[in-house]
Amino acid sequence: MPSRAQVLVRMRLADKAFQYLTQATALGVLALLGCIILALIIGALPALRTFGFDFLLTQSWNPVTERFGALAPVYGTIVTSVIAMAIAVPIGLLVAVFLTELCPLWLRRPVGIAIELLAGIPSIIYGIWGLFVLAPFLQVHVQPLLIDVFGEVPILSSLFAGPPYGIGTLTAGLILAVMVLPFITSISRDVFEAVPTVLKESAYGLGCTTWEVFRNVVLPYTRAGVIGGVMLGLGRALGETMAVTFVIGNAHKISPSILAPGTTISATIANEFTEAVGDLYTSSLIALGLILFAITLVVLALARYLLLRVERRLGG
Amino acid sequence: MRSALYARRRRRNAVAMTLSLGATLIGLGWLVLILGALLWQGVNGLSLKVFTEMTPPPGAGGGLLNPIFGSLIMTTLAVLIGTPVGILAGTYMAEYGRYARTTSVVRFINDILLSAPSIIVGLFIYEVVVAQMGHFSAFAGALALAVIVIPVVIRTTEDMLLLVPNALREAAAALGMPRAYIIRHVAYRAAKAGIVTGVLLAIARISGETAPLLFTALNNQFWSSNLNAPMASLPAVIFQFALSPYADWQKLAWTGALIITLAVLTLSIAARVVTRTRRQS
């Protein structure tokens, strides 16, 4: 039978041990991020050493001559994300308006859940759907129309030039828009709901319409949160891999037309990594990954910073 | 003059509200279109053979037994590795270090990891595990998935532990319990449903992940239960089969896609049910 003092000592030791264990794992998360960055840098070194800063500015991607440049994938990543955000931001915000202002109370939960289910569908499902359903539809019904309509307009004609492939930058942007939409909607809905009722009611009391209340009271009040949600969506769009790989066409060139096939950083890595022969090829792909990670880190950090500020203001 | 302005404002409001309704219908329409296509294309490929036979060479009949098995093995392993780590880190953030500076830093980094591109995780595990061991392996795939599990579990564990009323902890402390006991026997028990939700959400998240598996677990045409060798997984097989020119492979890809989607949707609905009963009680 251990004495009381012994039990107390043992308990205190166990307590300390548990505390240090949890603390160490929490710090391990920081170490994990550090390790990811370090591993990418080490992996990318051979390519960065060979090509230097030119890596970012070169368009050629030639495994035979071992000349690699990141310009085409970076360009594709940015263009697809821009298309996705141009479509998803207005639609996502309007859905959030519907959910907070217009929708009858009993319908809010089911509609909200349905939109969030869109976020739960794995990206490979979007990919297979985009390849077999969306791309053929666009090829037959939408893209010929776009080419006809914009063919005569001076600047837009080059944007919509070339044959309707179905797959390509525009299709990838569209798929990304659907994937990003639920993120923008759910965060904007949450911040819209956090607007104090008094503010909205006083605007209504002055005779504002629902739209005017949203435009002049809700939106200015929640701007930081909305931007945070949009950035979070952008982070997802930039790094999305499988859905894009299926529908972008994987062509290593920069084409002015958004109907033409292109590539993105993540699609290039997904497609070529296992087939990459030679250290320089592999290293160039890892360098691409490093660029992608750097871009998304900045975007995501900015998003979290904005959302954190909103949270603090609402909390205090 | 006045009524003209009023009419214009009313009109603008009506247009905006119609647009927002339209946007919602578009959003819901996509969901219906995607699920509809999945059911339409996937259901007629569903048969017992899908669950009992191996992936076929093109032109021969077969099923998805080895990728289903591989996905289950790697998901289980990832959850077994990721969950304890996530729960322990979340425990520190909500209990010992609730007001510590470390916690806000870890939370910030964790939120970034939560939405970091999953293909980067694949590259990371390739560099650290695959390149060192010299070959692809199911174990590397499971590790990559575990890296994705950890932030999800940390986030929900912390949130749920923060919801546990302090009065419970104080009552236990007043009885003379040390903190580690309070956490394990009071806080965990009160937050159990929430933590389970987090794990379910994490499983839902990784069961469809393809990018981190492509160059860690690779793929395998044959049955393999060797953790030290490449292993097939449903998402990787869907990727390979859907992009192939063979009609029967594409059909199997659709069926696989249907299975994954049903699994993911079931898990996320289960997660909602778990938290809901908790809220009611």
Amino acid at B152: V
Contact partners, residue A108, CB within 8 Å, separation at least 6: A99
Confidence (pLDDT) at A64: 87
User: Quick check: B202 pLDDT over 50?
Assistant: yes
Interface probe for A, chosen from B5, B31, B120 (most Cβ of A below 10 Å), is B120
Q: Confirm if A73 and A264 have CB atoms less than 8 A apart.
A: yes
Indicate the angle between helix axes A223-239 and A71-97, nearest 10 degrees: 140
Amino acid at A226: V
Confidence (pLDDT) at A297: 94
Across the interface, whether the CB atoms of B38 and A129 are under 8 A apart is answered yes
User: Would you state the structure tokens that stand for residue B174, as one six-digit string?
Assistant: 């007043």
Average pLDDT over residues B233-242: 93
Give the separation between CA B75 and CA B55, rounded to whole angstroms.
20
Of A26, A181, A289, nearest to B89 by CB-CB distance is A26
Name residue A147's beta-bridge partners: none
Partners of residue B123 in chain A, C-beta under 8 Å: 39-40, 43, 269, 273, 285-286, 289
pTM (predicted TM-score): 0.93
Count how many pairs of residues, chain A against chain B, have C-beta atoms within 8 Å: 261
Across the interface, whether the CB atoms of B261 and A308 are under 8 A apart is answered no
Give the separation between CA B189 and CA B186, rounded to whole angstroms.
5
Amino acid at A156: L
Name residue A68's beta-bridge partners: A61
User: Would you state the structure tokens that stand for residue A308, as one six-digit string?
Assistant: 């954190």
Amino acid at A35: C
Confidence (pLDDT) at B183: 94
Q: Sign (positive/negative) of CA torsion A203, A204, A207, A211?
A: positive
Confidence (pLDDT) at B1: 55
Across the interface, whether the CB atoms of A236 and B115 are under 8 A apart is answered yes
User: Quick check: B275 pLDDT over 90?
Assistant: no
Q: Sign (positive/negative) of CA torsion B180, B182, B186, B187?
A: negative
Amino acid at A311: E
Q: What is the per-residue burial (b if ≥16 Cβ within 10 Å, else e) of A239-261?
A: bbbbbbbbbbbbbbebbebbbbb
Confidence (pLDDT) at A137: 93
Instruction: Give the confidence band of B33 by pLDDT, cuts at 50, 70, 90.
Output: very high
Q: Confirm if A226 and A188 have CB atoms less than 8 A apart.
A: yes
Amino acid at A163: P
Partners of residue A315 in chain B, C-beta under 8 Å: none
User: Quick check: B174 pLDDT over 90?
Assistant: yes
Is B203 buried (19+), middle (13-18) or exposed (0-12) by CB count in 10 A? buried
Give the separation between CA B49 and CA B66, rounded to whole angstroms.
12
Across the interface, whether the CB atoms of B13 and A122 are under 8 A apart is answered no
Highest mean pLDDT among B44-48, B85-89, B115-119: B85-89
Partners of residue B207 in chain A, C-beta under 8 Å: 122
Partners of residue A111 in chain B, C-beta under 8 Å: 24, 28
Confidence (pLDDT) at B253: 93
Give the separation between CA A12 and CA A154, rounded to whole angstroms.
78
Confidence (pLDDT) at B280: 47
Q: How far is A227 from chain B (nearest CA, A)?
A: 16
Confidence (pLDDT) at A27: 95
Q: How many contiguous H segments (helices) and E segments (strands) does chain A have? A: 16, 2
Q: How many CB atoms lie within 10 A of CB A146?
A: 17
Name residue A67's beta-bridge partners: A62
Q: Confirm if A244 and A171 have CB atoms less than 8 A apart.
A: no
Q: What angle do CA A128, A129, A130 make, to 5 degrees?
A: 90
Average pLDDT across each block of 10 residues of chain A; the chain has 316 residues. List them in order. Answer: 86 92 94 96 93 89 89 94 96 94 89 88 94 93 87 80 88 95 93 92 93 93 91 93 92 88 94 88 94 95 89 68
Across the interface, whether the CB atoms of A40 and B124 are under 8 A apart is answered yes
Partners of residue B120 in chain A, C-beta under 8 Å: 36, 40, 239, 289, 292-293, 296
Partners of residue A11 in chain B, C-beta under 8 Å: 178, 180-181
